[in-house]
Every structure is written in structure tokens, then in C-alpha cells.
Amino acid sequence: MAEHDESYKLLFSHRELVADLIRGFVQADWVREVDFTTLERYAESGVARNLDERIDDVVWRARWGERWLYVYLVLEFQSTVDPYMALRMSVYAGLLYQRLIRAGEITAPGSLPPLLPIVLYNGEKPWTAAETLSALIEPRLPPELLRYQPELRYLLLEERRYGEIDLPADENLAGALFRLENSRLPEEVERVLATLVQLLAADEYASLRRAFVVWLKRVLLPAKAPGAEIPPIIELQEMQAMLAERVKTWTEQWKEEGKVEGRQEGRLEGRLEGRLEGRQEGESAVLRRLLTRRFGPLPQWAEARLRTADESQLQAWADRILDGATLEEIFG
């Protein structure tokens, strides 16, 4: 998992990806006032030297509105749920503020910069930790004591909660990353890569292109197609071409490994190519689950078709689930 975290940190060491993460996933009016052309890594400012390395390489600042304000973005890459994440974020905030004061960045009392703590979570289990520090503190306190308890809230971005309809437009780099993480088919990965190749074609994005390739080779593809041989590729366009060439083979492998319905969700409950066992109702339930994962909540007409279909019709729809781009194509 350390390799996963390091690959992620390499991606988020690029200003373009961090800017798109804020633009696409922080739903607030103040975001429009941030001058993302001034966005810079906090470590590069010379202030974060000697701070805990878990935070100094993922903290950023930018101009906000007409004044020079610090906007700090703390990214924690977690594969498991840390029940005390709110406490950790509070400690990080204190370390940052103390370092700013010692470095002479704060010129007057009461002018500490705003802090935006973000937890980017991509684990399999739902995130269950408290998102505020106050939620971790003994709740049965008299009001006179409760008012003195510390408070901090972080923004949780749980990747698997974002369906296609919830993600920002295709040109958003962070949205593209989420789409790759949540992909169910090699064709979906190939489509996202085609978009990334266009978005990152300029020479100035060479480092970010390589970061995506590193992450694809070390994290995404080994998880989606375990055991598959990945050639020595250094450019994103080469990765797209390679994937296009191997789409058919890898589609069968992903399906065989049970990856079509979600990362490590287990086998396709009966394998939709004729290995579905049990009653017809069970076949319909499995197909409904897979369709919902690909397209979101099903419309009434699709639910009605599933309820009234016989076994042969269900199997015919199951055969189309890998190739159909829309519900209409699958149901014919």
C-alpha cells in the first residue's frame, strides 16, 4: 500500500491536478475567487522545511480574492479508515500555524491563514470515521465546559461514492483520476486515457504524464489485471495504445477475475455467462446490481423489463453488458 500512496503523492505533487481537485470537488462560492495561477507547493515556499514529511509535500497555498491569503490543502492518502483522522488533521493544522509564526509569515495577531484539510479516501470499506474533532470528544459535557472544546472539520472525498453523474467534466484531471479508479472495464480506462492524452499533450505537462504512467503501471493495472505483463512504457500515449491493443484479452481477464462488478468484490456471483446458479429471481438481482454499478439507478422501464424477463432473456442481456454503451443497447 505504501507504493500506492507514493504513486498518489507523485500525482498530487503537480499543481494542475491539485487545482482541478479543488475546482471539481470543493463545492463553494469562494473557490471561484482563488487564483490558481499562483498555486504553489508549501514545501517550495521554504516554510515547511523540517516539518513532518507526511504533510509538507502535500500542502499548497494560493492567492484568494484581492488579498494574499494562504489556502492550505492537506491530502492524506488512506487505504483503511483511521478513526482519529480529525485529531490528526488538528495536529497538522497546529504544526503548520506554529511554523508560519516562527518563520515570520504572520505579521499580526488574528491573521492566521485559512486551512482546507482534505482526506482523499479510496479504500474498499466505507469511511466511518468522524469528520469533526468535536465528534471525538466525550459528548456528555455541561455547556459551560463544552464551549471550550477544540473544533476542526475536514472535507472527505470518498472516491467510490462518486458515480459518473457526480464527477466533474471530462477535462477535469482529478475527475479523470476518479474515473480510472472506479473503472469496471478496460474500454473505460482506454477512453479516459484518450482524454488525458489530449489534455496533457503540451510539453509543459511531461512530468504529469509520466506520473500518470507510474500510477497506472504500479497501482491501477496490477489491481485490474493481476499477473498481466506490462511492457516498459514511459509515455501516456504509449499506454493508451498498448491498452487499446489488449482490450479484448484484458476484458476477458477482468471478467474472469470478477473485476467487472467492482474491485475485489468477488466473483460475478454465478458468472453471468451461463454459471448463474439458483432461481431466476437471483439472476435478475445480479444483473440489476451490475447494471446499477455501470449506469446508476435504473429507470422504471428497465426495472420492469428485469422483472418480467425469462432466463434466456436475462442471459442475453448479460452477454451484452460488457459491450453495451447504454441501457438501451443492452436491453435491445
Same structural domain, 63 and 200: no
Q: What is the pLDDT of residue 298?
A: 78
Q: Using a pLDDT cut of 90, give the percent of the chain over it.
A: 28
Same structural domain, 161 and 224: no
Rounded to 10°, the helix 173-181/15-25 angle is: 80
Residue 97 lies in a domain: yes
Mean pLDDT calculated for residue range 246-252: 67
- Provide the number of structural domains found in the chain: 3
Mean pLDDT calculated for residue range 101-125: 84
- Lowest-confidence segment of 184-188, 234-238, 322-326 by average pLDDT: 322-326
Band the pLDDT of 83: cuts 50, 70, 90. Answer: very high
Task: Give the angle subtended at the CA of 172 by the CAs of 2 and 7, to the nearest 5°.
Answer: 15
Same structural domain, 61 and 158: yes
Residue 140 lies in a domain: yes
Nearest one of 168, 123, 144 to 26, comparing CA atoms: 168
Residue 240 lies in a domain: yes
Same structural domain, 192 and 117: no
Residue 172 lies in a domain: no
Residue 95 lies in a domain: yes
Mean pLDDT calculated for residue range 197-208: 94
Same structural domain, 20 and 159: yes
The residue type of 267 is: R
Same structural domain, 32 and 149: yes
Same structural domain, 317 and 208: no
Q: Where are the beta strands (DSSP E) in the chain?
A: 34-41, 60-64, 72-78, 115-121, 155-158
Same structural domain, 8 and 111: yes
Write down the H helix ranges in 186-299: 186-199, 206-215, 221-224, 236-256, 280-295
Q: Number of H helices and number of E strands within the chain?
A: 14, 5
Residue 37 lies in a domain: yes
Same structural domain, 160 and 195: no
Write the pLDDT tens digit of every residue in 265-302: 444 444 444 444 444 566 677 778 778 777 777 787 88
Residue 275 lies in a domain: no
CA distance 190 to 259: 16
Same structural domain, 208 and 290: no
Residue 12 lies in a domain: yes
117 to each of 129, 141, 176, 302, how far by Cα in Å?
15, 27, 22, 41
pTM: 0.71
Q: Could you list the residue range(s) of the whole structural domain that residue 40 is in? A: 2-166
Write the pLDDT tens digit of every residue in 153-188: 999 998 888 887 788 888 999 999 999 988 888 888
Same structural domain, 44 and 190: no
Mean pLDDT calculated for residue range 64-77: 68
- Number of Cβ within a 10 Å radius of residue 9: 15
Same structural domain, 114 and 224: no
